[in-house]
Chain A
Amino acid sequence: KNEVEQSPQNLTAQEGEFITINCSYSVGISALHWLQQHPGGGIVSLFMLSSGKKKHGRLIATINIQEKHSSLHITASHPRDSAVYICAVVLTYSGGGADGLTFGKGTHLIIQP
């Protein structure tokens, strides 16, 4: 079962480029999370979305509930943005969210100087 699909799996770009990572899901959700994981590092929460759009610094996350799709954008990308970006959802049938997140496989982003 692949309830959460991310694309692309791998992305290499030049510093300064505009980056888009996509996430599609096939089931009903109550929330969607974007997470960041640096090589060998822990996992950090970037955004939680249930509708619309959120922005934090150079990062923008959008969600379209009707189309079951979310995007994470990075403007003016920098080598320190190199990381794995993970999309995760809270399923609506998950007992109110008690049984946690369902994760995509992640997008491995490399920003070259």
Chain B
Amino acid sequence: NAGVTQTPKFRVLKTGQSMTLLCAQDMNHEYMYWYRQDPGMGLRLIHYSVGEGTTAKGEVPDGYNVSRLKKQNFLLGLESAAPSQTSVYFCATTTSYGPRHYTFGSGTRLTVV
């Protein structure tokens, strides 16, 4: 199915462990984003990418790293997970031209204990 696929859907980590979240899209979109969603707050931008090989920091980048080695994949890494990173993570993509409709992944629910 065309769209944006996030893996994994759920994960429980112990404090200090590392993990990588994968966002894969087959829509040929240039722009990709990682957001986190916390109760009582709007989605907040962690990192984003405007094309293969490029990344930039968003509003809340600390504790996360990203890579976009291939246009279709945007990886979000947690090198040393902390309980404050317990959240639901969403990937989103959009085009670099014309009306920018956003497509979201189904989310990854991460719990750090």
Contacts and interface: CB of A to CB of B under 8 A. Distances in A.
Interface string B68-112: 000000000000000000000010100010011111111100000
Contacts of B90: 42-43
B113 interface: no
Given A98-B31, A99-B56, A45 B43 contact: no
B50 interface: yes
A4 B90 CA distance: 19
B99 A48 contact: yes
A41 B106 contact: yes
A100 B48 contact: yes
Contacts of A90: 100
Contact of A98 (B50, B99, B104): B50
A41 B88 CA distance: 11
A102 B44 CA distance: 8
B22 interface: no
A28 interface: no
Contact of A105 (B40, B58, B99): B40
B13 interface: no
B31 to A, nearest CB: 6
B100 A48 contact: yes
Contacts of A99: 45, 48, 56, 58
B41 interface: yes
Interface of B: 31, 33, 35, 40-45, 48, 50, 56, 58, 90, 92, 96, 99-107
Given A43-B107, A97-B100, A103-B42, 5 more contacts: A48-B99, A48-B100, A88-B42, A100-B45, A105-B41
Per CB-CB distance, the 5 closest pairs between chain A and chain B, nearest first, are A103-B42, A42-B106, A43-B104, A103-B43, A105-B42
Interface of A: 4, 31, 33, 35, 41-45, 48, 86, 88, 90, 97-106
